[in-house]
Structure 1
């Protein structure tokens, strides 16, 4: 992400400090998270019914309601989601297809992708953007598939840094259950934005 000012190492040092101050809560999103992952993990493949159920519970994590599901390209959408489940990385064009289907929201789409494959896809939202860019997100930037792809590449780089392991172990301990490397980083960004707002570094 071009607007990052800190090195990857410095980001991880900051995230480790954030993890030390973070304590898991009984909030619904911590409680529901492993069940959402289990739903998709236990499926052999995703069909239309699974898609409808999945995007519906995904929107319980969204500040807005699920107003539109565009299923004109349902076969293509289901194929893409199964590709994601099977470890494929989708490109900008494919991501746009999914975004268009789900409320035209990249944020909502990123959450669904993460629930399907938490090893290779991370949740993307305004707080993550704010933490990484130290600026308020404009909707056109937040909703650009290219920016999300760059975000995934950044996460891949961060998890290969030497300082990552200490952060990851600390975050798993504080969450209280197993999480993936992508989830640990995204959660660190999310919490970090809240801490920045409160003046905690």
Structure 2
């Protein structure tokens, strides 16, 4: 059974969706942030750091780490610190295409397997009133890029090019391929899903 080194409820739900056997142990690794690194490099570094931090405590278990950022025009967007920042982010995405990049890392007996998946998301035009009303729901406040593709924000999304589950927080196809490459059985609990 693998360890998911993330407290994200979305990542937990996605692994449950495919019947993976796992437990959650949140990583305390410090995360890199900002625009000094390319988004793909940034999420790879953070995913590896998260997985390694938990693997150091549980070296006998495969550990999956993940990190997601949203990027546009060379700027990366993490979780907004407040409603004002959430509104600013969404206004920047209005009528434009941005990228969602997720780094995934699997640490198995000290060996690191990593990958990055990037999806292009196009928002339709949003009015200031629509953005304010959406931010007032509270949904954007703990999400990278200030929106949840699987939630109310779906009404603003014109198209998605690439992995949908990546935009939610974990690219499931890439995770299963990485596990295969690492020789890890995601279903060693016979597909019963999450265990605590």
TM-score, normalising length: structure 1: 0.33
Structure richer in helix, relative to its length: 1
Structure richer in strand, relative to its length: 2
Higher relative contact order, structure no. (Cα contacts within 8 Å, ≥ 6 residues apart): 1
TM-score, normalising length: structure 2: 0.34
